[in-house]
């Protein structure tokens, strides 16, 4: 029996009452736009749906996960802070339009001067809104000497440690900035990233970029829990948009956390997790279920009968061993095991062609938001990397950490609190 | 004025009457299943739609293009012809079930013996049919010495020449077999390829694999013409499912073409075309339209007003130059220029992350079906590679050629005509 199993704790313990009870501050708070304006994100969601860009928080965090992702990490190639701010303003204007289902500039794709490059690249011209959300973040490296931002680096935005068994590719890691585009049409997500990248010409360039599909975790109780490429339901116990108390405790940063410009923001961890699906597929059903700690069909935790039955880590089987094994994924990732820590996962499945040795280059592009990566993601990943039976089948090949600023007011721009 | 411009020809000239008029023969012909059973493939298509697997022709050729693609090329790793045939039988059974929205085997993902690996990998368990089609082809290399198939190699299945400006990556080219999975949910397409690959363990392995989205060409008049990543409508003049005469002339192989086992089949050319979208985006609107030969907004050919107005290559502007430039894409790819040759295009847009030097690794995964690659695709691509103004912005990085056998009867298996 593990220590964690013996010591159930309240998730409230993690931050204590000061943090947990602190009110949100920040531009746009009065607008009251946040989780109450999200859409249902299910496959039946109307293609014409749009998600409001403005609000206390950026859209694309608790917004019910759309079906497709294009995520890009960019490096800033100028040392001119003014140019960076100018770009963030331009990006915000473009994002306002694109998330409303419009071109980057009015008539941009086809009605501009014929002797100038079009203001919009055009491939989304005939496509509906598709619930596009655009969410940006500032990477750890942005807070180096170049832009004088060192004093504004949040303590929560640590350099992630190298976890046991990490095999990180520098070309799939890091980045000064990130853009997360989610939509129910991949072409709409790609169009948005491409046009923001284009606006950044001379200021930023793409460092790495990842497409994903299949919503490996749901973020709303209105959504069915999707399945990852191990074939298991993923995100049953995820923080959901409806969990306002937990979101306040564990996702949204506050001014009291140390950097007032981050109030209403969050911290995003991106991890490219290669999954050795061919090896996994040769594991028995029983073995797979023991590794995950859940039943493959229903998604119920072992020892329970339905997907959303609460996990009970203390049930023992006939031989005296816990029914949910000590090295199973759900036990190690459980908030009960982790001193109450939870994270909001928002990852996507991916297949990036094949790996050159006969297998599919497949996996999970893990995206998670939390309030303090030091207290939430890092302890969780340390536990998983060290002990999770699933580690035999996965390998972390990319890693990045971003401070995701709060939402934007009608007249503001992305990250304005950091630069003003 | 080019020669082609002076010499309009009938597209009937290409094959002559013997080929053009020959009746289809082959298993399943009596079933009458073909273009009359396709679905509309539009974004509004019901998620629960399924496409009949059986028929004179394989599904996935004239089936209205679904939104997502997973294409895999495989090498056969055994020299045992019996094992290959056994796999084709197993693949066919699995394809029958998966295209009907079912697991590979009944209860395969979750109800098998707990001490055996599941018969289905499970990630599509809760997903509807999504109009999945599975289409297979036999590569040029399959007809080497290994399986005694040399005498059955169709004359049409030539080794593609190296075209001017090709920059082919061997790791993205060739393959003994291919699987084209199209669906309106990428996870359904990926699940299908993965499970066929899994059934092939010990017989085949993945050589390369490509995901795509956005249906760069429509194959039915019921579909809107989608846009490629240059932002232009693509496929306006494509062969459509409704063009039964043209399909008979230019897409479907007949017994009279030389290999009776191919009657009702077709030849598939796969080309991975990297598009330098960042460079393209700096071209003026006028320049882009001159290169394509169409108006970006409406898709009308230059000199016309609406998308489907017939192209007139003979209209001249004020300076005496043809309004559709001599080096424009639509002129060079026109059947009028190409002695009547047309192809059925079925490509998909792709973004495979970034290229390591600051750009998106984006392009078009070109898929085209024709009846005789020697008379259709090769002359077309020679003209384009040599003269197309668009070549400044694209690069062919992968290439493969497959004989796509006819459709399967209720009791047959993929390619049974080749092996029996």
Query: pLDDT by residue (tens digit) across A199-222?
Result: 999 999 999 999 999 977 788 888
Bridge partners, residue B316, by sequence? B322
A112 touching B (Cβ < 8 Å): yes
Inter-chain residue contact B358 with A190, CB threshold 8 Å:
no
* pLDDT number for residue B46: 67
ipTM of the complex: 0.90
Contacts of A110 (CB under 8 A, 6+ apart): A118, A122, A125, B285, B295, B296, B297
Under 8 Å between Cβ of B281 and B287: no
Under 8 Å between Cβ of B206 and B196: no
Separation in Å, CA of A409 to nearest CA in chain B: 30
Under 8 Å between Cβ of B293 and B302: yes
Under 8 Å between Cβ of B313 and B324: yes
B205 touching A (Cβ < 8 Å): yes
Q: Which residues of B touch A179 (CB under 8 A)?
A: none
* pLDDT number for residue B151: 97
Inter-chain residue contact B186 with A117, CB threshold 8 Å:
no
* pLDDT number for residue B84: 98
Q: Which of A122, A193, A231 sits opposite B231 (nearest CB)?
A: A122
* pLDDT number for residue B14: 61
Spatial distance between the Cα atoms of A33 and B82, rounded to a whole number of angstroms: 64
* pLDDT number for residue A11: 33
Spatial distance between the Cα atoms of A64 and A240, rounded to a whole number of angstroms: 8
Show pLDDT as tens, one digit a residue, over chain A (420 residues).
333 333 333 333 466 533 333 333 332 332 322 322 223 333 445 677 999 999 999 999 999 999 999 999 999 999 999 999 999 999 999 999 999 999 999 887 787 788 889 999 999 998 999 999 999 999 999 999 999 999 999 999 999 999 999 999 999 999 999 999 999 999 999 999 999 999 999 999 999 999 999 977 788 888 889 999 999 999 999 999 999 999 999 999 999 999 999 999 999 999 999 999 999 999 999 999 999 999 999 999 999 999 999 999 999 988 899 999 999 999 999 999 999 999 999 999 999 999 989 999 999 999 999 999 999 999 999 999 999 999 999 999 999 999 999 999 999 999 999 998
The residue among A195, A204, A209, A212 with the most chain B CBs within 10 A of its CB, best to mutate, is A209
The residue among B353, B356, B358, B364 with the most chain A CBs within 10 A of its CB, best to mutate, is B353
DSSP SS3 for B139: strand
Residues 19-78 of chain B whose Cβ lies under 8 A from any Cβ of chain A: 43-44, 47, 67-68, 70, 72
A-B CB pairs within 8 A amount to 216
Inter-chain residue contact B351 with A115, CB threshold 8 Å:
no
B231 touching A (Cβ < 8 Å): yes
Separation in Å, CA of A416 to nearest CA in chain B: 26
The residue of chain B nearest to residue A206, with distances taken between CA atoms, is: B358
Number of H helices, E strands in chain B: 10, 9
Inter-chain residue contact A117 with B72, CB threshold 8 Å:
no
Residues 296-335 of chain B whose Cβ lies under 8 A from any Cβ of chain A: 296-297
* pLDDT number for residue A215: 79
Inter-chain residue contact A230 with B123, CB threshold 8 Å:
yes
* pLDDT number for residue A8: 36
Q: How far is CA A324 from CA A217, A308, A321, A392, in A?
A: 21, 16, 8, 18
Q: Which residues of chain B have pLDDT under 70?
A: 1-46
In the block, which residue shows the tokens 């846009």? B227
Under 8 Å between Cβ of B325 and B332: no
What beta strand segments (E) does B27-132 contain? 68-76
Separation in Å, CA of A274 to nearest CA in chain B: 15
Q: What is the pTM of this model?
A: 0.90
A276 touching B (Cβ < 8 Å): no
């Amino acid at each position: 029996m593990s220590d964690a199993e013996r010591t159930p704790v309240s998730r409230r313990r993690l931050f204590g009452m000061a943090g947990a009870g602190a009110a949100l501050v920040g531009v746009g708070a009065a607008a009251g736009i946040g989780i109450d304006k999200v859409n249902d994100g299910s496959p039946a969601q109307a293609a014409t749906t749009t998600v409001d860009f403005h609000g206390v928080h950026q859209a694309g965090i608790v917004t019910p996960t759309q079906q497709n992702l294009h995520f890009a990490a960019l490096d800033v190639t100028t040392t001119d802070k003014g140019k960076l701010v100018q770009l963030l303003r331009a990006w915000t204007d473009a994002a306002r339009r694109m998330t409303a289902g419009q071109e980057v500039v009015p008539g941009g794709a086809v009605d501009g001067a014929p002797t100038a490059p079009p203001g919009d690249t055009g491939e989304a011209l005939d496509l509906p809104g598709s619930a596009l959300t655009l969410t940006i973040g500032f990477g750890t490296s942005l807070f180096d000497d170049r832009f004088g931002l060192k004093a504004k680096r949040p303590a929560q935005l640590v350099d992630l440690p190298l976890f046991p068994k990490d095999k990180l590719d520098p070309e799939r890691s890091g980045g000064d900035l990130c853009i997360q585009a989610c939509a129910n049409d991949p072409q709409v997500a790609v169009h948005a990233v491409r046009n923001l990248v284009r606006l950044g010409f001379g200021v930023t360039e793409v460092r790495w970029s990842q497409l994903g599909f299949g919503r490996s975790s749901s973020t709303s109780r209105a959504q069915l829990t999707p399945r990852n490429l191990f074939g298991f339901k993923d995100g049953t116990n995820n923080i959901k948009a409806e969990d306002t108390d937990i979101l306040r405790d564990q996702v949204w940063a506050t001014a009291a956390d140390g950097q007032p410009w981050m109030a209403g923001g969050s911290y995003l961890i991106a991890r490219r997790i290669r999954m050795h699906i061919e090896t996994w597929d040769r594991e028995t059903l029983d073995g797979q279920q023991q590794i995950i700690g859940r039943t493959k069909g229903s998604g119920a935790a072992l020892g329970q009968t339905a997907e959303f039955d609460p996990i009970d880590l203390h049930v023992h089987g006939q031989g005296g061993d816990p029914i949910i094994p000590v090295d199973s994924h759900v036990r190690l990732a459980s908030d009960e095991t982790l001193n109450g820590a939870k994270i909001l996962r928002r990852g996507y499945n991916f297949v990036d062609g094949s790996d050159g040795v006969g297998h599919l280059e497949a996996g999970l592009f893990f995206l998670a938001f939390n309030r303090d990566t030091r207290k939430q993601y890092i302890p969780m990943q340390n536990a998983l990397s060290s002990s999770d039976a699933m580690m035999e089948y996965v390998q972390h090949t990319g890693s990045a950490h971003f401070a995701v600023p709060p939402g934007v007011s009608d007249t503001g721009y992305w990250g304005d609190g950091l630069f003003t």
